[in-house]
Amino acid sequence: MKVVKLEDIIGTDQEVKGENWTSRRLLLKKDNMGYSVHDTLIKAGTETHIWYQNHLEAVYCIEGDGEVETLSDNKIHPITTNSIYALDKNDEHMLRANTDMRMVCVFNPPITGKETHNEEGAYEIVED
């Protein structure tokens, strides 16, 4: 069994910051769970282009509100506290935060923790 406390991740290499977000990576590929879990903060008033071509992602919003626009059909999906969205088709999308948002993100396949968004908004597959 493994227990991970958020307070033990903050300030380590498992806390990764982008211009619009901070991702605290709680479980990674090395944990051998078959997925990774992140506690992610999204800054209010931001818009982030994301297209995980190599990963499926489910995102549970635990604080804040915003929207996801799927770019294949330009459909806007409001996201509020206690809602989840699943990018089950590697959906290219725009994430917009109306307020500060806190999300729990699950990735399959799991990430190693070394990934960063490329120019298309995707994580490349990184081997350990």
The neighbour count for residue 111, using CB atoms within 10 Å, is 25
pLDDT, residue 125, reads 59
Residue 25 lies in a domain: yes
Domain CATH code at residue 99: 2.60.120.10
Query: Is 0.85 surpassed by the pTM of this model?
Result: yes
Tokens read off for 120: 């298309």
Q: What is the tally of structural domains in the chain?
A: 1
State mean pLDDT over 107-128: 70
d(CA 14, CA 35): 15
Residue 67 lies in a domain: yes
Residue 71 lies in a domain: yes
Which residue shows structure tokens 């396949």? 109
Residue 127 lies in a domain: no
Domain that holds residue 24: 6-108
pLDDT, residue 126, reads 59
Q: Is the pLDDT of residue 74 over 90?
A: yes
Residue-wise pLDDT tens digits, 55-70: 899 999 999 999 999 9
Weakest mean pLDDT among 42-51, 81-90, 112-121: 112-121
pLDDT, residue 123, reads 61
Residue 52 pLDDT level (bands cut at 50, 70, 90): confident
Contacts by residues 66-74 (CB-CB < 8 Å, ≥ 24 positions apart): 66/42, 66/95, 66/96, 66/97, 66/98, 66/99, 66/101, 67/95, 67/96, 67/98, 68/93, 68/94, 68/95, 68/96, 69/93, 69/94, 69/96
Tokens read off for 82: 């206690």
Residue 124 pLDDT level (bands cut at 50, 70, 90): low
DSSP, res 120: T
**For all residues of the chain together, what is the average pLDDT?**
92
DSSP, res 126: -
Residue 39 lies in a domain: yes
Residue 18 lies in a domain: yes
Residue 91 pLDDT level (bands cut at 50, 70, 90): very high
Residue 103 lies in a domain: yes
Contact at 8 Å (CB) between 124 and 83?
A: no
Residue 124 lies in a domain: no
Paired strand residues for 27: 37
* Residue in 53, 124, 121 with CA at minimum distance from that of residue 87: 53
